[in-house]
A = this chain, B = another copy of it.
Amino acid sequence: LTRMTAIGIDIGATKILTCLVDADGAILREVVSPTPPASASAVEDAVAAATSEVLEDIGGDVTPIGVSVAGWVSRDRKSVLFSPHLAWRHEPLADRLSARLGQPVFVENDANAAAWGEFVFGAGRGFSDVAVVTVGSGIGAGIISDGRLLRGGNGLAGEFGHTVVDPRGPDCACGRRGCVDSLSSGRALERHYNAIEGSPEHGTTSGVEILELARAGKPSAVAAFHELGRWLGTSLGDLVMYFDPQIVLLGGGVSGAGELLTIPTERALAETIVAHEEVAPTMVRVATLGHTAGAIGAANLALKAERQEVQEVQAQLNA
């Protein structure tokens, strides 16, 4: 009994993307709904409504559900321990949704889900060791090591955004100083641009506008991406020392800049790690699944987890 489809749900700060995904990573059906701003239970209601809609379309078959959330997910992938955007604290999200929808549910950190999607279906195909860094308003990362998604002892592995690149750098909301997040995120891009332009600290030029200006060739906007890439590449030096990936993929909104971002990043990475003839330098490339990476990855992880549970039950029955 092999499931062929799964549902992937990506709960973002402003919208919820619910997708029916097949075993090849193709999206067969897609529902976009706004993320209710107020309570965690309203978010749960919205997720359940969108999922029910997709489930009705495909009839009553068992369909594993993967949920991608910004936050810390427990090692057993059932609970959200903490979420910066939503009011979830030790929230048993998988069990709650499973009870409502009558389907197996698996929760995953959004950066991990996106990384898995890129590894299986995107720019990470064919590699065994891949780091996927999501550069949006903040920074997330997911690590695939020898074909396996790293989760860590508490489910918190891969917190690249809150490793320290400059101990004398700006204070970070996490309590540390000079975190990668504070120097290489979309928010940092705006700060770099304002600094280059000589604008006040909180300028009115958004990341999307800076990207448009850079594409149009405005030197200060291009320079802002170079500054971002310089910090990001330097920060990736330690990530490469720790995980030794064959390739680093950049996803998230800021990666829409393409080579405006990847070229200075790859250069700074190559500069911080002394070249060895024994080992090829790590490549930096753009992720290819875009905003659907999280939903596609979560769906595939759910499919995989459900198959494994079925196999374990069969092994017990045979024993």
Contacts and interface: CB of A to CB of B under 8 A. Distances in A.
Interface stretch (A58-66, A239-247, A303-311): A239-247
Contacts of A273: 175-176
A166 interface: yes
The count of identical subunits is 2
A159 B241 contact: yes
Contact of A154 (B158, B165, B176, B279): B279
Given A276-B82, A278-B82, A238 B152 contact: no
A150 B150 CA distance: 10
Nearest to A165: B167
A15 interface: no
Interface of A: 72, 81-82, 89-90, 127-129, 143, 145-146, 148, 150-160, 162-168, 174-176, 234, 237-239, 241-246, 272-274, 276, 278-280
22 contacts: A89-B278, A129-B152, A145-B152, A145-B157, A152-B245, A153-B244, A153-B246, A154-B279, A154-B280, A155-B244, A156-B244, A157-B242, A157-B243, A159-B241, A159-B242, A159-B244, A164-B238, A165-B167, A167-B234, A174-B274, A176-B237, A242-B243
Given A153-B245, A156-B244, A164-B238, 12 more contacts: A72-B278, A81-B278, A82-B276, A129-B153, A129-B157, A143-B242, A151-B244, A157-B243, A164-B237, A164-B272, A167-B167, A168-B168
